[in-house]
């Protein structure tokens, strides 16, 4: 089984469900095995799902502007749980208000995310990155 497994979910108290479904569809079409946790996902749920399924990447969405607090510590908890070095992406409307995306990106990279996407990123961008980072192509 060479299929790569992705854990997908919208973090925190965020209930934006539409983009989550679109991403699930796009990633499946691209040949990934997708474990979609849906909306209102806690950090522990990503970690538990990744452990059981031996996932290759955790993909976090946040659309409601509170992503910074929600995402803090996820990398450390992954390491604590034995998921050292697991690939982590984050994307969406990560922060409230007008901030330069570059600053946002730096902030989330410092938290341990491997890639950070601004609002309006097409699924194909993440798919290409995943294929490259996971060595699928």
Partner 1 sequence: MGIWICLDIGSTWTKATAVDPDAPRIVGTSRSRTTVETDVNLGVSAALAELVRQCGHHSIDRRLACSSAAGGLRMAAVGLVPELTAEAARRAAFSAGAKVIRTFSHELTAADLRDLDSMRPDILLLCGGTDGGNRRGLLHNAAALASLETVFPVVLAGNRSVAEEAAGLLRGRGKPVRITENVMPEFNRLNLEPAREAIREVFLERIVKAKGLDKVASLVDDLLMPTPFAVLNAVRLLAEGYDGETGWGDLMALDVGGATTDVYSMAAGEPSLPGVLWKGLPEPYAKRTVEGDLGVRLNAQAITETLGDGLHGLSQLALRAHVTTDTASDWLKTISENPGILPESVSTSPIPSACAPEACSLSHDHSALDSALAIRAMQVALQRHAGKMEEAFTPMGRVHVQTGKDLTGVRRLILTGGPLVDALDPAGLANAALSADPSAAASGTLLLPDKMDLFLDKSYILAAMGLLAAEQPLVALRIMKKEMIAL
Residues classed as catalytic: 14, 16
At how many degrees (to 10) do helices 123-133 and 18-29 cross?
50
- Residue 23 in contact with partner 1, rule: CB under 8 A: no
- Output 64 or 68, the one with its CB closest to partner 1: 64
**129: number of Cβ within 10 Å:** 17
Tell me the per-residue interface mask from 51 to 90 with partner 1, x by CB under 8 A, - otherwise: xxxxx--------xxx------------------------
* Block residue for tokens 């950090």: 43
Interacting residue with partner 1 among 6, 9, 11, 14 (CB under 8 A): 14
- Least CB distance to partner 1 at residue 68 (A): 14
Which H/E stretch holds residue 106?
A: helix 101-110
Question: Rounded CA gap, 115 and 50, in Å?
Answer: 18
Angle CA 59–61–63, to nearest 5 = 175
- Output 6 or 130, the one with its CB closest to partner 1: 6
Count helices and strands (H / E) in the chain.
6, 5
Interacting residue with partner 1 among 23, 49, 60, 86 (CB under 8 A): 49
- Output 65 or 73, the one with its CB closest to partner 1: 65
Q: Which residues bind partner 1 (CB under 8 A)?
A: 1, 3, 5, 13-15, 35, 38-40, 48-49, 51-55, 64-66
């Amino acid at each position: 089984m060479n299929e790569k497994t992705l854990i997908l979910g919208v973090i925190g108290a965020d209930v934006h469900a539409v983009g989550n479904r679109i991403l699930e569809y796009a990633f499946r079409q691209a040949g990934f095995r997708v474990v979609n946790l849906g909306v209102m996902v806690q950090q522990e749920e990503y970690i538990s799902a990744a452990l059981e399924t031996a996932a290759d990447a955790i993909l976090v969405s946040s659309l409601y502007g509170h992503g910074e607090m929600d995402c803090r510590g996820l990398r450390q908890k992954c390491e604590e749980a034995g998921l050292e070095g697991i690939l982590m992406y984050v994307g969406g409307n990560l922060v409230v208000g007008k901030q330069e995306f570059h600053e946002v990106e730096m902030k989330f990279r410092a938290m341990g995310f491997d890639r950070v996407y601004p609002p309006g990123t097409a699924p194909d961008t993440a798919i290409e990155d995943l294929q490259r980072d996971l060595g699928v192509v």
